[in-house]
Chain A
Amino acid sequence: MKKLITATIAAVVLSSAAYADTIKVGVIGPFSGPFALQGKNFKAGIDAYFALHGNTVGDDTIEVIYRDVPQPDPAQSKALAQELVVKEGVQYLAGFYFTPDAMAATPILEQGNVPMVVMNAATSAIVTKSPYVVRTSFTTWQTSTPIAKVAKDAGVNKVISIVSDYGPGVDAENAFKTAFEKEGGEVVEAIRMPLSTNDFSPIMQRVKDSGAEAVFAFLPSGPTTLGFVKAFNQNGLKDAGIKLFAPGDLTQESDLPALGDQALGMQTTFHYAVSHDSPENKEFVAAAQKAIGNPAELSFPAVGAFDGMHVIAKMIEATGGEQDAEKAVEAVKGLSWTSPRGPVTIDPESRHIMQNIYLREVTKADDGSYFNKEIQTFEKQGDPGLEAAK
């Protein structure tokens, strides 16, 4: 009797796996709360992918199941990932805006035979936590390294670095310091300020006293960047000729209308600007803006999600819809395609995305709106953070 039951269950499980026509993808991200805008961008990127390429791969239909983790919360992220794998039977996990959320879910990948496609979380180490992690976003090391060369080329030798005191901020500080010292420059002082800082005047005073020629800054996109840039201008640093360099988090498209004139002329390096000039990007932006509703809200997490869906579609194609994490991940190693952000490749070694990093300048368009104008390209950038960790 016991054998019969086991056999029946086995038969049911096997047949359902072999002839499954709906492939479920679980997406975890912040869809409510203070970071809801980023989750909205995930959804817009995924919807844009389906709008342009359809939601079927061969005979299989992709179904996306969303789960909400409003703020960095590793325990909840892990619980939801487990629920998605065990109860919903998802074959792929994706999304993950915050690094701790992605880290927390990696231990269940091998057990669950499920690949994870990270659509945002930007700490280098995530891909080392499990061989089934693939990332289609960027790392803070990747976006913060080229700006060091930009600073040096602008004739700057002494820089003060100011970052928010949390993981990505420390990453940015190290990335810039490593790259800038390699260029022959000097970081005269490194300040880490609490995430909750809202009055930046004292910090600007420190900058003045330090005698640095330029500031390297990293703050998470959102309300604080506005206060930071304003304080930089209003305390006379801009007028004193001190330059401000930062990765693109500071001039995220959705913050630009608020930053306005304050940010004009600011140079940042990043992997994606909504204004990127290519036919692929035009198509993507049109579809994603339609999906998100308000065009001004579209920013970088959408492109990570869009490319993430592309990778998942390729995985489904390679496995024929069967659940086989190893085969799926193997199939996308070295995969190259033209993303809305430009040519990209999944690095077969690290499973992180290799891409162009662009130097952009905040510019005023003819209609009075502001955008990041790409003025220089650093081609095929890998993730220097992984090497640095070795």
Chain B
Amino acid sequence: MQTVFSIAVDALAYGMVLFVISIGLSVTMGLMRVVNLAHGAFAMIGGYIASYAARDLGLGYAAAVLLAVAGTVLIAIPIERLLYRRIYGAPELTQVLMTIGITFCIIGIANFVFGPTLKTIPLPDTLRGSADLGFRSIATHRIFAIICGLLVAAALWFLIEKTAFGIKLRAAVDNAAMAAALGVRTEFVYAVSFAVAIGLAALGGVVGAELLPVEPYYALRYMVTFLVVVSVGGAGSIPGALLACLLLGAIDTTGRYLAPEYGEFFFYLAVIIIVILFPRGLAGRFK
């Protein structure tokens, strides 16, 4: 029984880290319909900024996180204006080619500027070490990641479903021309949601850095996992992504515990089954 609880805790923590990083991609792919393969690259930029701020500038963890999110969004704004704006509504192949190109550029620049070695983000004392749950100990940082995931999920759900901005965003996505005719500034709406998605990527890069360490190939190494989460959850759906992360986290963690020699067999078997049963993802919102 203890083992079951133990695996459940690990699965929850892993799932939430996946969620924080992948949810931004779900927003760009589902709501903005851009296949953004550079999502991992933006998460990596966030990680690098946080690492630089905390290690070289000596700022606190909270300041480093804020700086990482703000800095990454700032870097993303010119990229959005000059590059992404051209591919909104373009065929998927064009989007894939453009964004994978951006990814390779960012990898090259990161390698040149920061070097090929691992970069860590020093944690504050409160997040360091481990907490005792009674039946096992867990890294305090993982509890922090779980809380971050829940907060992000709640905030995003509120923003998209309950605010005026959310209504405009959904309108602009469903029918941009009609929304514009009714006075919605679609360009502004897209720019803001792109910034939100990038900010979430950066946050995920920083919060997830303990599990997925920051190095130049971060941008590509974990991209497949992020894409799997989005396609299983259903692009654009926040409950869907949350469900997908928890489910995949549980399957992956259990498989790793019981039969590590099978590798990611169970993970991808589950993905295949889910995608066959739900071709639009667990909670796909578009036909």
Q: How many residues of B sit at the interface, in one of the four size bands?
A: 35 or more
Q: Is the Cβ of A34 less than 8 Å from the Cβ of B137?
A: no
Give the contact stretch, choosing among A16-24, A202-210, A324-332, A362-370: A202-210
B111, B117, B129, B263: the one within 8 Å of A258 (CB): B117
A6 at the interface (CB under 8 A from B): no
Measured in the bound complex, the distance between the Cα atoms of B216 and A255 in whole Å is: 14
Q: How many residues of A contact B (CB 8 A)?
A: 38
Give A197 to B261 CA distance when docked, in angstroms.
11
Q: Does A191 contact B (CB under 8 A)?
A: yes
1/0 per residue, CB under 8 A from A, across B136-171: the answer is 111101100000000000000000000000000000
User: Which residues between 87 and 129 of chain B lie within 8 Å of chain A, taking CB atoms?
Assistant: 111, 115-120, 129
CB distance from A254 to the nearest CB of B (A): 5
On whether the beta carbons of A258 and B260 are closer than 8 Å, the reply is: no
Knowing A202-B253, A203-B257 touch, does A297 contact B115 (C-beta < 8 A)?
A: yes
Complex Cα gap A292–B213 (Å): 24
Contact A226 B13 (CB under 8 A): no
Given the interface pairs A202-B256, A209-B3, A226-B213, the reply to whether A196 lies near B117 with Cβ below 8 Å is no
Residues of A within 8 A of B111 (CB): 36
Q: A16 CB to closest chain B CB, in angstroms?
A: 40
Question: Does A197 contact B256, Cβ atoms closer than 8 Å?
Answer: yes
Binary per-residue interface labels of chain A (250-264) against chain B in the complex, 1 for a CB within 8 Å, 0 otherwise: 000011011010000
Decide if B130 touches A235 in the complex (CB within 8 Å): yes
Does B264 sit within 8 A of A, measured CB to CB?
Answer: yes
B139 contacts A234, C-beta separation under 8 Å: yes
Q: Does A194 contact B (CB under 8 A)?
A: yes
Question: Which of chain B's residues has its CB closest to A192's CB?
Answer: B261
Distance in angstroms from A163 CB to nearest chain B CB is 10
In the assembled complex, which residues on chain B have CB atoms less than 8 Å from the CB atom of A258? 117-120, 213
Which B191-231 residues have C-beta < 8 A from chain A? 210-213, 215-217, 221-222
Inter-subunit contact A234/B130 (CB<8 Å): yes
Q: Are A198 and B117 in contact (CB under 8 A)?
A: no
| Residues of chain B lying within 8 A (CB to CB) of residue A208 | 136
A56 contacts chain B at the CB level, 8 A cutoff? no
Evaluate whether A201 and B10 lie within 8 angstroms (CB atoms) in the complex, with A206-B257, A226-B120 already known: yes
Q: Does A193 contact B (CB under 8 A)?
A: yes
Residue in B115, B116, B119 with the greatest tally of chain A CB atoms within 10 Å: B116
- Report the separation of the CA atoms of residues A234 and B253 in the bound assembly, to the nearest whole angstrom: 17
Cα-based distance from A91 to B164 in the complex (angstroms): 73
Q: A199-B252, A202-B257 are in contact. Are A260 and B211 (CB under 8 A)?
A: no
- Distance (Å) between the CB of A292 and the closest chain B CB? 11
CA distance in complex: A210, B111 (Å):
41
Q: Residue among A34, A208, A260 with the most chain B CB within 10 A?
A: A34
Which residues of chain B come closer than 8 Å to A79, judged between CB atoms?
Answer: none
Flag whether B61 is at the interface (Cβ < 8 A): no
CA distance A257 to B116 in the complex (A): 13
CA distance A230 to B138 in the complex (A): 11
Cα(A223)–Cα(B218), bound, Å: 9
A-B residue pairs, 7 tightest by C-beta: A194-B263, A234-B139, A258-B118, A202-B257, A236-B137, A193-B260, A202-B256
Chain B residues near A (Cβ < 8 Å): 3, 6-7, 10, 13-14, 111, 115-120, 129-130, 136-139, 141-142, 210-213, 215-217, 221-222, 252-254, 256-257, 260-261, 263-264
Taking A198-B211, A223-B212 as known contacts, 5 extra A-B pairs with beta carbons closer than 8 A to each other, sorted by chain A number, are: A36-B111, A201-B13, A234-B138, A236-B136, A257-B118
13 interchain pairs (CB within 8 A)?
A33-B217, A197-B256, A198-B211, A202-B257, A203-B257, A209-B3, A234-B142, A235-B130, A235-B136, A236-B137, A257-B118, A260-B120, A296-B117
